[in-house]
Amino acid sequence: MSKFRILCLDGGGIRGLYTAVLLDRILTAVPTFLDDIHLYAGTSTGGIIALGLAAGRTPAEGVALYQQWGPRIFSRSLVWQLRTLWGLIGAKYDNQMLQEAVSSELGDLTMADLAQRGKHVLISSFDLDGGRRPTRCWGPKFFHNFPGTTGDPDKKLADVAMYTSAAPTYFPSYQGYVDGGVAANSPTMAALAQTLDPGTGGQQLADIRLLSLGTGLSSRAIEGERHNWGLLQWASPAIPIMLEGSMDAQNYESHRILGPEQYHRLNKALPEPVELDDVASMDRLLTYAHAVDIGPTVAWVEQFFL
């Protein structure tokens, strides 16, 4: 049996630093871990990491990217704050630094360039302009470089990174797209579907091995049994619910379809909540990621993934 290995990486803003550290730790424990990944799938910050890995970057370089660019990406000048009324009538952050960061990481590489190197990627986004769809209606867009008419070979990786990470209220939309977390903050089911599609991946279900990494569970809840809320009350929790609420559903579905020998997820609860733009918590994220027991994940990788 020939295994088809998929690595899926969740969205989560600056918490991608946590994911990058976990990847680096797994790679240290299993040096061949990333040698034969057949598909890198990612959403938002996980999409940026996935594109970087497919392009040949190491997890350690991913950690350095967050440390170098994170504080610059999630910063606001006084002019920007005044122009947007502190995020009330505009995005919380400009996306110029984010664009510079992904351009420095990915350069002018295209999706076709990765395919020529034998690297496949699937990156989620959300298309606001229904004119690009058969029926004019907004909806999810999964950028990939598998063969077939649905692929996106000419897209630059840096642009795809911007499409997947334009989180609503945090950054402006980019060329008509917003953050893939709107559709699939954990891209496991999309990756599985694309892999099984006879016109693209064409794999057999029994051959698939899928490792999914989160950005840490940032515990939060809304207490009470009845919330007679309107637009103003739901405005604050709506984005976190939208971006994070689907992850458990994706995990449930993937686990039921693949089972424990074919699917493994690493996403431990953080000791305290960390918002996706909380760059002041970067040192804490490093500490949390180094404290995670990766033993069960390493064992699964060695026994079932490789």
10 Å Cβ neighbour count for 89? 8
Determine the Cα–Cα distance for residues 92 and 267; give it in Å rounded to an integer: 27
10 Å Cβ neighbour count for 235? 11
Determine the Cα–Cα distance for residues 75 and 97; give it in Å rounded to an integer: 9
> Could you tell me which residues come within 8 angstroms of residue 72 by beta carbon, excluding any fewer than 6 positions away?
97, 101
Which amino acid is residue 259, in one-letter code?
Answer: G
Task: Give 265's pLDDT tier (boundaries 50, 70, 90).
Answer: very high
pLDDT score, position 70: 97
- Given a cut of 60, whether residue 1 has pLDDT beyond it is no
Determine the Cα–Cα distance for residues 31 and 236; give it in Å rounded to an integer: 43
The DSSP symbol for 116 reads H
pLDDT score, position 172: 93
High-pLDDT (> 90) share of the chain, % = 73
Among 16-25, 90-99, 134-143, the least confident range? 134-143
Intra-chain end-to-end CA distance of the chain, in Å: 12
Three-state SS for 188? helix
- Given a cut of 70, whether residue 242 has pLDDT beyond it is no
Provide the β-strand partners of residue 4: 208
Determine the Cα–Cα distance for residues 57 and 59; give it in Å rounded to an integer: 7
| CA quadruple 81, 86, 90, 96: dihedral sign | positive
Extract the tokens encoding 129: 């302009």
- Report the pLDDT averaged over residues 292-302: 98
Extract the tokens encoding 253: 């579905």
Backbone angles phi, psi at 264, to 5 degrees: -140, 140
pLDDT score, position 164: 97
pLDDT score, position 67: 97
Determine the Cα–Cα distance for residues 174 and 276; give it in Å rounded to an integer: 19
- Given a cut of 70, whether residue 23 has pLDDT beyond it is yes
- Given a cut of 70, whether residue 305 has pLDDT beyond it is yes
pLDDT in tens, 169-219: 899 999 999 999 888 889 999 999 999 999 888 999 999 999 999 999 877
Please give the mean pLDDT across all residues of the chain.
91
Q: Which helix (H) or strand (E) holds 157?
A: helix 157-165
